[in-house]
Amino acid sequence: ISDSHCGAKGAKEGHADCATKCVKEKGGKFVFVNDADKKVYAIDAQDQVAAHAGHHVTVKGTIEGDSLKLSGIEMAAK
């Protein structure tokens, strides 16, 4: 989980503080970055992903264009 300001370049361990700051202080939104193609998706359920900023996660939901309608999220296996 990254933020809308950093996008795919922020999809890494250690980015949690930056992502949270961008969302809280700069009006950014949390986003999901697909590992396979680095495509960035807006997430509808911001409150559900906040605790996962900077984490590698597995999500469940529906893709509509560049948006992800989230139905579930969990930490990814390493």
> Mean of the per-residue pLDDT values for the chain?
94
Over residues 43-49, mean pLDDT: 96
Angle, CA 18 vertex, CA 50 and CA 49 arms, to 5°: 10
Sheet holding 67-75, edge to edge: 2-3, 30-33, 40-43, 67-75, 57-64
Global confidence as pTM? 0.90
**pLDDT tens by residue, 5-37:** 999 998 887 889 999 999 999 999 999 999 999
pLDDT band at 77 (very low <50, low <70, confident <90, very high): confident
